[in-house]
A and B are shown apart, each in its own frame.
Chain A
């Protein structure tokens, strides 16, 4: 075995060179490094050796870690129809080129001078996203859509000084878990039924549940189950009648073709940035946004940082800084608005690059292609005996519920057989939506070719 400890300073740690260590100790005026830890009581000093594998050098590391991650089957190697909050999309090469730049990758919380470029890129992201959602204010990104929704709800609760929020039962179960956690213990989440046939929010149930305690109605477009909620205007009207705030969660890849929620009455818009040029990374690509109009009572309730433009002492220069910094918990600790910290700025920056590349035409074509491909998939799947390709009679965007109840097979069985054929079938809804029986949520985006959709259809047809 090679002895790795002889004469080899660790490449990540320059001062492991013994002579340098000695010199530094001498300057400090101590004999051993151990003396520097004398503030830690003896009984708290760990005497054992951590049970962690031996050091690997870079070559070994590449082989070892490479071998481990190669056990994963990536969606590049199969045809995947998984969505449900994280989606496979086309990612322009420029997005990766920019978000892998060492300057951005290794930057953090520098000031507006040293990190001018980062501030400008974030300001531009805020500005580009504002155009897509047709709102004035967009924040530095949150952790994900779920937390953006939760934070939007908390903002509404503070604005209205009310402590109930109405949420559709057809919401993503993942998202709901996060929202409930962020709302507890102050805000009660009240679930509103959906129409069995169309999936649309049950307006009668909504009217029964809304009251003078309601801070906000939160709903999503497209919904978790893929259908477009068409009663946006009526929902926000009901909210207005009760002086409640309308919050709409959106998938921004739809906004080239779908009306931005502000046009049907949204006061706060939130959603997920991952579709805008960010890899899925097993969910690590998620990143949320919140947008509002430029009203003081809304702006002052954001917990997030908001980068603003300003002149410098030199004519012609754009400078940047934090708008209303004193809102934040950085400035006011427990008295700030909610809580801020390191969230997902890099994905905001990437979404900015993506929107700059796509432009208005690109966003329209993206939306249109997704709609065409998903409609084609619904149509072709619908031809398979026993399958209702879209469980809800409604217009969908990107995702739709495939009903397998009449096939006599479970989604689990079907997905297992599909996996053997190199296909990841849709998300099994039977656990989270037991009322639907054996249904699956299928996702078709601009990356799913006709050939791949046809392969899915023939593979399902041949499931035993």
Chain B
């Protein structure tokens, strides 16, 4: 007998590879995946086949070209695809910076999938959804505590939609005050989520973007220069994607207020701030939190998410409706707001995420929330300390002062080896890690953004650092190895970008692929 040695410093990983066909290739004529409910004979006797009464031209003549597959095979197919997906539940998920990939407690999934949640209709009478309204109202109260704002709407389906709602409120506010035509500019910063700029543009605003000064703070002199009677609003994250807290934020909001603009706060990344600092004291008129980031609701492969939108008293009349209210005995829905922007999402937003976030807060309490912020910042500073020891890695701008995340750079490594951040991204897949670069444009050269949250242990962080260190060393010793990655992922490298850019090739659906193939073979 011998000891089984497990001394490798990086994980000996291989992702599941099932080599599944595209689902259409599983078609077997006559097979059935499920039978929908059948109808009683008495109903047929009464109304006949139900479809003959359809007017000519409205009845479908050719059945849809959907595959026919037995239930077990459909299940197996999707189970295999799930195994080929590296969800946060499976890995040390600190590589998708700005996404706050924290642990989503499993108990909260049980609440969200209870029929007491899933089988509620959005138009049910208030009396029959008192539990849901109570949860919503209480979450509103907690959010008010955390932010200092006076009222929350949970209608936005994500941070982007919350930003859209805030830009809509800015427009409605100035329109109501008769300054709508004059105020046509919104100021944002480059180290913020692209949705700040894009949603304001959807609402018709001209966008002014501030760039960072040498320390990484948004340039305050530039703000003074661009702010004017045309300023409708100022939207900013703090900290921004760099993780650096803008200590002059109160001056920023004052400058904008003095010019008559509204200040709104992108708190998508508030994980380092819970119980530490609040939107109100920094002078903001509005803010939003992502329930799927700071408040742990799972990211669901890209939604449904939820944006909690908070406003000060003066902007409450502009919120989307309905708001949940409580008279001490009963919860009710208030549709009657004087200047409501209308709706951004139908009905009540994403209530199952309201429930999950509520349960998460109850599972932490006030002290636990502060622990979240403190440990998220501790973890990030530990990681920051370790990453800077890796050859070729750096963190531009001011030294230290990072809260929950850092935007790093491989500028030196790329210069010295030719290996880029995109190469490293693919190589990280070989060790079972997610890794994210940055939004565009890349202001920091060869960027990568890490956000360790409170959910990972020191050992977890060490594992991630060890993988990055291994790859950085490999870049210096064997750059081709990194450039040709991945090797242990489900698939190998896609190199022909033409498939995504050329109309002759792009195949967004299976039918497009088949048709283009056929066209090509005719040509040949």
Contacts and interface: CB of A to CB of B under 8 A. Distances in A.
B363 A50 contact: no
A61 B142 CA distance: 17
Interface stretch (A127-135, A205-213, A401-409, A456-464): A127-135
B40 A450 contact: yes
A35 B329 CA distance: 45
A395 B277 CA distance: 59
A334 B51 contact: no
A376 B43 contact: yes
B508 A306 contact: yes
Interface stretch (B85-93, B256-264, B407-415, B473-481): B85-93
A419 to B, nearest CB: 6
Contacts of B182: none
A17 B511 CA distance: 55
A124 B22 contact: yes
Interface in B284-329: 292, 298-305
Instruction: Rank and list the top 4 A-B pairs by shortest CB-CB distance, nearest first.
Output: A341-B160, A117-B84, A357-B33, A283-B347
B494 A338 contact: no
B88 A185 contact: no
For B123, B203, B439, which residue has the most chain A Cβ atoms within 10 angstroms?
Answer: B123
A111 B429 contact: yes
B195 A339 contact: yes
Nearest to A136: B512
A255 B278 CA distance: 50
Interface residues of B, number: 210
B359 A329 contact: no
B440 A61 contact: no
Nearest to A25: B378
Interface string B360-379: 01111111111110110111
B302 to A, nearest CB: 3
A120 B84 contact: yes
Nearest to B422: A111
A40 B302 contact: no
A110 B86 contact: yes
Contacts of B61: 259
Given A110-B96, A312-B491, A339-B160, A58 B369 contact: no
A359 B66 contact: yes
Contact of B87 (A107, A144, A358, A427): A107
B364 A10 contact: yes
Given A37-B377, A228-B58, A344-B157, A255 B509 contact: no
Contacts of B123: 82, 84, 86, 427
For A25, A52, A101, A287, which residue has the most chain B Cβ atoms within 10 angstroms?
Answer: A52
Contact of B500 (A82, A141, A322, A419): A322
Contacts of B48: 372
A197 interface: no
Nearest to B105: A12
Contacts of A282: 117, 120-122, 124, 129, 132, 347-348, 351-352
A256 B66 CA distance: 11
B503 A296 contact: yes
A25 B382 CA distance: 8
Contact of B494 (A127, A283, A321): A321
Interface in B323-364: 341-353, 355, 358-359, 361-364
Nearest to A124: B23
Contacts of A313: 492-495
Given A113-B486, A178-B342, A69 B116 contact: yes
A64 interface: yes
A331 B440 contact: yes
26 contacts: A10-B368, A15-B458, A36-B403, A44-B281, A61-B362, A73-B128, A75-B120, A102-B87, A105-B298, A110-B85, A127-B23, A127-B24, A132-B66, A136-B511, A174-B347, A256-B60, A282-B348, A284-B349, A294-B508, A299-B503, A317-B19, A323-B501, A344-B157, A369-B50, A395-B55, A395-B58
Contact of A186 (B107, B199, B204, B348): B204
Contacts of B129: 72-73, 282
A102 B490 contact: no
Interface string B484-499: 0010011111111101
Given A74-B120, A131-B66, 12 more contacts: A51-B141, A52-B369, A61-B362, A114-B429, A116-B489, A126-B508, A140-B302, A257-B54, A258-B60, A333-B440, A339-B198, A367-B51
B200 to A, nearest CB: 7
Contacts of B433: 114
B520 interface: no
The size bracket of the interface on A is 35 or more
Nearest to A303: B198
For B198, B203, B385, which residue has the most chain A Cβ atoms within 10 angstroms?
Answer: B198
A84 B347 CA distance: 11
A104 B359 contact: no
Interface string B87-122: 111100100100101011101011111111111111
A301 to B, nearest CB: 14
A341 B161 contact: yes
Contacts of B89: 102-103, 105-106
Contact of B145 (A44, A50, A111): A50
Contact of A107 (B44, B86, B127, B161): B86
Nearest to B302: A345
A167 B38 CA distance: 36
Interface in A186-205: 186
B176 interface: no
A117 B105 contact: no
Given A52-B145, A70-B116, A318 B344 contact: no
Contacts of A85: 122, 346-347
A118 interface: yes
Contact of A358 (B33, B54, B303): B33
Contacts of B277: 40, 44-46
A283 to B, nearest CB: 3
A322 B38 CA distance: 41
B58 A372 contact: no
A35 B407 CA distance: 21
Contact of A106 (B69, B88, B352, B372): B88
